[in-house]
Amino acid sequence: MPQPAPGLTIDRFVLDMPGGSAADGRQVAQLVAAGLAAAGALPEAGDLPALRVTLTEPAGKDPARLAERIVAETLRALARSV
């Protein structure tokens, strides 16, 4: 898993994952942060106060696949907000 760039922070990340374990949630959150950092998609602090991403189709039980879908939807939402 890629590591986030030095100095990169996400102040608050909320993941509502019904039926998933806490360990799965932590893994997904880490993969999402790493995926966004690798894409260079995180704005400077204060540039984006809130962003909501909703997946309309189930991603299954694979945390890596779920994280990929969240990153993809986040990138689409960021592109729309520019």
* pLDDT of res. 48: 59
Which DSSP state fits 64?
H
Give the tens place of pLDDT for each residue, 30-69: 898 888 888 876 655 555 557 778 877 666 678 888 899 8
pTM of the model: 0.72
Higher pLDDT, 72 or 42: 72
Q: Is pLDDT at 23 greater than 50 in this prediction? A: yes
Q: Quote the pLDDT of residue 1.
A: 47
